[in-house]
C-alpha cells in the first residue's frame, strides 16, 4: 500500500524524471506500476495462502507454505527505470521479503527520485536503496542474498548468475534478445505497419521487446515501408505530418553518449553494407537519431548480429513462413516472437517450431500488459518470470509441510 501511495502521489514527478532521462513523454510506465500494486494488494491473500495438498489415503495435513525467501537484491535498468524497479519490488514485498534496490545509474533522474521517495514511503528496514555503477554492483554481488532479480543484458546476466552461484542464490534474469516480427502475406499490412512503427520508436527502440528486425515477403516490403513512414509522420511530424521529428516533444532520445556512439557506429556499418530507404540522420548534441528503415539486409550483416536497442529497422525479405522460422531459429531465443497472420496453420507452425519467452500474434509485445501471463525469457533472453502470481512465486519459497500425529 505504501508503495502504491509512493507512485500514486508522485506520478507527475516520476513521469518528469523519465522524460528528463529518456525524452519519453508520459505513457504507460507509471500507470503500469499502479496497476501492479493494485493487483498484488487485491489478490495478496489468495497469492500467499497455504496451498493444501489433498491425499485421500491419509490423515496427514499436507500443504505448501509460500515462504519469503529473505533478502532480495533488485537490480534495475535504464530503459524503463521506474517500472523495472517498482514492479519487481512490489512482488518481492508481496512475498514478504526485505529488499535492496539498485537503480541504474545511467537513468540518473529516475535513480534520484527513487532514492528520495523510497525511504520516505517505505520502512527503511525493509527497503533500502544503493546507488552506484560497476564497482558498487560488484561489491553488492559479493554479499549473500536470498534472491537476485536482474533486468539487463545477456552478458551481465551471466556475470550475475556466476556471482549468485557462489552462494547458491536463485536468480531471475530478465534479459533481451533479437525480437523478430514475422509478417505473413495473409495479413492486413497497414495495421501491421502501424504496430511496427509504434513499437520501433517507443523509447527510441530501447525496449527489450522492441521490433529488432522484420521478416516479410518481398511483395509486402514497399507497402510496409510506406505505412510505417506514414505512421511515424503522424506520431512525430506535427499537425501536417511534415515536421522534423527532432522538434517533436514526443520523439524520444537515445539514453546517453555511449549508447549513441554505439548506434552511430552501427549506422555507419549499415551505410556500408545495406540500403537506407528512410531516415539515417542524427544529431549527437541532442542524442537524436531519426527512425531509420534499412533494406538489402543479409543475415551475416552487422545489423543482424546483436540486439539493436535503437531506432534502426532492418527488413529481411523471405518468401514464406518456413524461411522466416529458419531465420528466427538461427538466433538465440528472443523475448518475444511476433507474428502478423490470420492463418491458423501459420500461427500453429510458429508456435510449434520456434522458442521464445512469449509469442504475440497480430500485435507486438502486448503480452506484458496481461499480468496473468508470465513475463520472462528463455535461454539467452532470460531465466524465470514475473508479473501477478508469477511475481509472488518468483520471490517465494514453496515450502512443503506435512503434519502427522504421534499416535
Q: CA-based Rg of the chain, rounded to a whole angstrom?
A: 23
The active-site residue, picked from 37, 208, 290, 307, is 208
What whole-number distance in Å separates Cα of residue 378 and Cα of residue 270?
29
Q: Which of 157, 177, 205, 311 binds another protein (CB under 8 A)?
A: 157
How near is the Cβ of 127 to another protein at its closest, in Å? Answer: 26
- Quick one: residue 341, left, alpha or beta (phi over 0 = left, psi -120 to 50 = alpha)? beta
Kindly state whether residue 140 participates in binding another protein, applying the rule CB under 8 A: no
Tell me which residue has cell 497497414: 190
Beta-bridge partners for 283: 288
How near is the Cβ of 387 to another protein at its closest, in Å? Answer: 11
Is 290 noted as a catalytic residue in this protein?
no
3-class DSSP state for residue 265?
Answer: helix
Q: Which is nearer to another protein, 242 or 344 (CB)?
A: 344
3-class DSSP state for residue 132?
Answer: coil
Q: Using CB under 8 A, which of the segments 78-86, 167-175, 275-283, 335-343 binds another protein? A: 167-175
Is 174 noted as a catalytic residue in this protein?
yes
Closest to 253 measured CA to CA, from 197, 303, 310: 310
What's the Cα-to-Cα distance from 162 to each of 31, 91, 130, 165, 380, rounded to whole Å?
A: 34, 24, 21, 5, 15
How near is the Cβ of 404 to another protein at its closest, in Å? Answer: 9
Kindly state whether residue 200 participates in binding another protein, applying the rule CB under 8 A: no
Q: Using CB under 8 A, which of the segments 205-213, 281-289, 310-318, 378-386 binds another protein? A: 378-386
Site for another protein, residues 212 to 271, rule: CB under 8 A: none
Kindly state whether residue 186 participates in binding another protein, applying the rule CB under 8 A: no
Kindly state whether residue 59 participates in binding another protein, applying the rule CB under 8 A: no
State which H helix or E strand residue 160 sits in.
Answer: helix 154-165
Beta-bridge partners for 148: 73, 171
Q: Using CB under 8 A, which of the segments 187-195, 248-256, 303-311, 352-360 binds another protein? A: 352-360
Closest to 251 measured CA to CA, from 283, 208, 203, 217: 203
What whole-number distance in Å separates Cα of residue 162 and Cα of residue 141?
10
How near is the Cβ of 242 to another protein at its closest, in Å? Answer: 32
Kindly state whether residue 407 participates in binding another protein, applying the rule CB under 8 A: yes
Q: What percent of the chain is helix, strand and coil (3-state, nearest 5)?
A: 45, 20, 35
Residues whose CB is less than 8 angstroms from the CB of residue 78 and which lie 6 or more positions away in sequence, other chains included: 21, 22, 104, 106, 107, 110, 255
Q: Which is nearer to another protein, 164 or 266 (CB)?
A: 164
What number of chain residues touch another protein (CB under 8 A)? 32
Q: Which of 127, 367, 386, 396 binds another protein (CB under 8 A)?
A: 367
Q: Which of 114, 255, 378, 392 binds another protein (CB under 8 A)?
A: 378
Q: Which is nearer to another protein, 293 or 334 (CB)?
A: 334
Q: Which is nearer to another protein, 54 or 168 (CB)?
A: 168
Kindly state whether residue 158 participates in binding another protein, applying the rule CB under 8 A: yes
Kindly state whether residue 173 participates in binding another protein, applying the rule CB under 8 A: yes
How near is the Cβ of 349 to another protein at its closest, in Å? Answer: 12
Q: Using CB under 8 A, which of the segments 40-48, 63-71, 162-170, 272-280 binds another protein? A: 162-170
What's the Cα-to-Cα distance from 107 to each of 166, 194, 202, 364, rounded to whole Å?
A: 30, 29, 16, 25
Kindly state whether residue 352 participates in binding another protein, applying the rule CB under 8 A: yes
Q: Using CB under 8 A, which of the segments 72-80, 111-119, 281-289, 365-373 binds another protein? A: 365-373
Three cell numbers written together for 300 = 551475416
Task: List, in sequence order, the alpha helices (H) in 166-295.
Answer: 189-201, 218-236, 257-273
Tell me which residue has cell 500500500: 1
Kindly state whether residue 374 participates in binding another protein, applying the rule CB under 8 A: yes
The active-site residue, picked from 87, 174, 307, 332, is 174
What whole-number distance in Å separates Cα of residue 36 and Cα of residue 3?
10
- Quick one: residue 387, left, alpha or beta (phi over 0 = left, psi -120 to 50 = alpha)? left
Kindly state whether residue 369 participates in binding another protein, applying the rule CB under 8 A: yes
Q: Are 54 and 384 in contact (CB under 8 A)?
A: no
What residues line the site for another protein (CB under 8 A)? 154, 157-158, 161-162, 164-168, 173, 175, 351-353, 355, 366-367, 369-374, 378-380, 382-384, 406-407
> What is the set of active-site residues?
174, 208
Amino acid at each position: 500500500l505504501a508503495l502504491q501511495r509512493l507512485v500514486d502521489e508522485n506520478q507527475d514527478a516520476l513521469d518528469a524524471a523519465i522524460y528528463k532521462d529518456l525524452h519519453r513523454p508520459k505513457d504507460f510506465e507509471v500507470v503500469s506500476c499502479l496497476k501492479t500494486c493494485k493487483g498484488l494488494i487485491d489478490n495478496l491473500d489468495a497469492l500467499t495462502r497455504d496451498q493444501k495438498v489433498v491425499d485421500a489415503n491419509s490423515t496427514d495435513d499436507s500443504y505448501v507454505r509460500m515462504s519469503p525467501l529473505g533478502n532480495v537484491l533488485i537490480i534495475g535498468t535504464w530503459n524503463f527505470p521506474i517500472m523495472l524497479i517498482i514492479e519487481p519490488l512490489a512482488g518481492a514485498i508481496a512475498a514478504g521479503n526485505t529488499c535492496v534496490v539498485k537503480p541504474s545509474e545511467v537513468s540518473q533522474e529516475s535513480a534520484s527520485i527513487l532514492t528520495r521517495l523510497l525511504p520516505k514511503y517505505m520502512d527503511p528496514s525493509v527497503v533500502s536503496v544503493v546507488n552506484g555503477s560497476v564497482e558498487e554492483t560488484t561489491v553488492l554481488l559479493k554479499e549473500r542474498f536470498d534472491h537476485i532479480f536482474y533486468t539487463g543484458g545477456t552478458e551481465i546476466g551471466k556475470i550475475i548468475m556466476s556471482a549468485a552461484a557462489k552462494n547458491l542464490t536463485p536468480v531471475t534474469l530478465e534479459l533481451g534478445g533479437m525480437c523478430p516480427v514475422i509478417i505473413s502475406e495473409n495479413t492486413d499490412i497497414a495495421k501491421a505497419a502501424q504496430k511496427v512503427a509504434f513499437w520501433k520508436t517507443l523509447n527510441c527502440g530501447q525496449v527489450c521487446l522492441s521490433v529488432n528486425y522484420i521478416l516479410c515477403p518481398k511483395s509486402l516490403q514497399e507497402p510496409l515501408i510506406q505505412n510505417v513512414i506514414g505512421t511515424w509522420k503522424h506520431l512525430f511530424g506535427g499537425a501536417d505530418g511534415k515536421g522534423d521529428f527532432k522538434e517533436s516533444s514526443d520523439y524520444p532520445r537515445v539514453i546517453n553518449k555511449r549508447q549513441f556512439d554505439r548506434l552511430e557506429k552501427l549506422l555507419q556499418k549499415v551505410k556500408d553494407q545495406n540500403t537506407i530507404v528512410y531516415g539515417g540522420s542524427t544529431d549527437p548534441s541532442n542524442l537524436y537519431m531519426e527512425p531509420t528503415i534499412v533494406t538489402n539486409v543479409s543475415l551475416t550483416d552487422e545489423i543482424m548480429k546483436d540486439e539493436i536497442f535503437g531506432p534502426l529497422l532492418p527488413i529481411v525479405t523471405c518468401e514464406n513462413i518456413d524461411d522466416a522460422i529458419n531465420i528466427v531459429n538461427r538466433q538465440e531465443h528472443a523475448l518475444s516472437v511476433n507474428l502478423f497472420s490470420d492463418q491458423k496453420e501459420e500461427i500453429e507452425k510458429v508456435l510449434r517450431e520456434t522458442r521464445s519467452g512469449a509469442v504475440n500474434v497480430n500485435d507486438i509485445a502486448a503480452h506484458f500488459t496481461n499480468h496473468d501471463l508470465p513475463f520472462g525469457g528463455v535461454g539467452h533472453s532470460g531465466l524465470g518470470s514475473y508479473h501477478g502470481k508469477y511475481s509472488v512465486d518468483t520471490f517465494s519459497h514453496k515450502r512443503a509441510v506435512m503434519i502427522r500425529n504421534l499416535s
